[in-house]
Amino acid sequence: MPPRTQGIKREKLLDVAEELFSLRGHASVTLRDIATTLGLHHASLYHYVPGGKDELYLEVMERNLERHRIGIFASVRASEGDLRTQLRATGLWLFSQPLLDMARMANADARGLGKRGEALLWKAYACFTQPLVEAFGQANARGQLSFIDFATAAISFVTMVEGLHSVPMQFFVNESKTEALEKILDIFLLGILQGRTQAEAKKETI
Amino acid sequence: MPPRTQGIKREKLLDVAEELFSLRGHASVTLRDIATTLGLHHASLYHYVPGGKDELYLEVMERNLERHRIGIFASVRASEGDLRTQLRATGLWLFSQPLLDMARMANADARGLGKRGEALLWKAYACFTQPLVEAFGQANARGQLSFIDFATAAISFVTMVEGLHSVPMQFFVNESKTEALEKILDIFLLGILQGRTQAEAKKETI
DNA sequence: ATTATCTATAGATCTATAGATAATGC
DNA sequence: ATTATCTATAGATCTATAGATAATGC
């Protein structure tokens, strides 16, 4: 077969593996699942990925996270000066990507993958926080923020969006995810309390 | 052996199984994992759970969710009239429980468990939303809320808290989870934007 | 000749069952 | 006699490898 199609086929293999691993995790995706999705015998995967399952998982998830880092940076830099638009773009970007369950990565997938698994987790947190911390820093420089722990804010926002992303459609019957994203933006930016009573509410209930 | 210790031993078995399943999921926990944690041979589990792995998973997770429902209802009803205290109690309750990853439940664990697996998911969403929707409804009746999609608010809050709960301690070096919970309450109730600019910000950027 | 795919198989692990052995209660 | 635990084993599935077969490019 032609050498110039090999790369294409391998890319397709990585795409399928990434989609499945990202959605269902390392343990519940078998090499047979990946191969049959591609219409291949599972033994044929080793032609493209001699390193085996763990190597394949690490390669596609590292690729996934790097793409997230780039995609989120692009989302926030396309609309500098408008935090809500930046966060909306980030949310839409995350929706366009296969679901990434950081809790599962940290507590199940990355276990047993040694140092490289731990490095994957660090990269995951960095990819999500770095671009948003940049955006929050700029908004704060404009005097717009009252909440100044940017890392916690970043993780909270991504967690909310991915949580929404993970909900199967049957549980969101009367509403699109795009509409739900706007609600998340409202909560994250403005809170659920009445604006006029916020200052008092904070003092009263802390 | 005495019949009166049988129940105790079985309870201990369910506790261990729940802890492991809840943290790492159905696929990456083996019966051997559960048995060795208990100091038992894995074949001995069938004495207490003749139904096998899937039955054990469903039993302990149904029990887990029912306990959550009761625990969260207790959290919100202990401080009626003070939403922040209600949500703080809910967050502390969730921290006291084994991590529950709804995304993994929906996209990996519950697959292949048939109707009972799907029912488990419905129960999961109900357990988390019902008590909080009640609390939000009361706060709204007091005129305190600006955000009125209570179900979305409930899922968003639980997702944020469990997302924080899932972060391994090495990623939260200089801060306790209790402190981080207060920050989440700030974000969720007040938003990250400056209070005085919120009304304008909403109009400007929507 | 090189590349891609499949067949066959090894070895490990997992769930599950049957039945032996040990420990306790009557 | 009942209950709890273990041994032994079956059967399924999974990862991985070796080597045969088929398809393409030169």
Structure confidence by residue, pLDDT tens digits, A148-170: 999 999 999 999 999 999 988 77
pLDDT band per the 50, 70, 90 thresholds, residue B5: low
pLDDT band per the 50, 70, 90 thresholds, residue A9: confident
Tell me the C-alpha distance between B130 and B82, whole Å. 17
Judging contacts by C-beta atoms under 8 Å, the chain B residues touching residue A103 are: 99, 101, 103-104, 162-163, 166
Q: What is the pLDDT of residue B182?
A: 97
Q: Are B48 and B9 in contact (CB under 8 A)?
A: yes
Nearest-nucleotide field for A49 (CA, C1'): D16
Mutate to test the interface with A, among B156, B157, B165, B196 (most CBs of A within 10 A): B156
Q: What is the pLDDT of residue A5?
A: 56
* DSSP tag of A43: G
B32 Cβ under 8 Å from any chain A Cβ: no
* DSSP tag of B193: B
Tokens 């709804």 sit at which residue? B102
Query: Could you please report the per-residue DSSP string of B36-76?
Result: HHHT--GGGHHHH-TTHHHHHHHHHHHHHHHHHHHHHHHHH
Among residues 115-174 of chain A, which lie with CB inside 8 Å of chain B?
Answer: 121, 125, 136, 143-147, 149, 152-153, 155-156, 159-160, 162-164, 166-168, 171
Question: Torsion angle of alpha carbons A184, A165, B87, B84, nearest 10°?
Answer: -10
3-class secondary structure, B11: helix
Judging contacts by C-beta atoms under 8 Å, the chain B residues touching residue A99 are: 103, 107
Ramachandran quadrant class, B204 (left: phi over 0; alpha: psi -120 to 50; beta: rest): alpha
Q: Residue B197: what residue type?
A: T
- Judged against a pLDDT cut of 70, whether residue A67 lies above it is answered with yes
Contact B188 A192 (CB under 8 A): yes
Residue of B nearest to A165 (CA): B103
Tokens 């008092």 sit at which residue? A200
Q: What is the pLDDT of residue B9?
A: 86
Residue of B nearest to A85 (CA): B205
B170-203 pLDDT per residue, tens: 777 568 999 999 999 999 999 999 974 444 444 4
- Mark the nucleotides of strand D covered by protein, meaning any atom under 7 Å from a CB: 2-9, 13-19, 23-25
B22-77 pLDDT per residue, tens: 999 999 999 999 999 999 999 999 999 999 999 999 999 999 999 999 999 999 99
Nearest-nucleotide field for B47 (CA, C1'): D4
Partner residue facing A153 (CB), from B28, B121, B192: B192
Helix (H) or strand (E) holding A90: helix A83-96
Q: Which pTM does this prediction carry?
A: 0.91
Q: Residue A99: what residue type?
A: L
Q: How many C-beta neighbours within 10 Å does residue A124 have?
A: 23
Distance, in angstroms, between B193 CA and closest chain A CA? 4
How many Å from the CA of A55 to C1' of D23?
29
Q: What is the pLDDT of residue A193?
A: 95
Q: What is the pLDDT of residue B102?
A: 95
* DSSP tag of A172: -
3-class secondary structure, B114: helix
Q: What is the pLDDT of residue B154?
A: 96
The closest alpha carbon to A64, from A112, A34, A100, A90, belongs to: A100
Contact A162 B136 (CB under 8 A): no
Q: What is the pLDDT of residue A66?
A: 98
Q: What is the rounded average pLDDT for all residues in chain B?
A: 91
Burial (CB < 10 A; 0-12, 13-18, 19+), residue A96, is: exposed
Tell me the C-alpha distance between B158 and B69, whole Å. 12
A99-114 pLDDT per residue, tens: 999 999 999 999 999 9
- Chain A 18..77 CB hits on strand C (< 7 A): 39-41, 43-44, 47-48
Helix ranges (DSSP H) in chain B: 3-24, 31-38, 45-48, 52-77, 83-96, 102-104, 114-141, 150-166, 177-190, 198-205
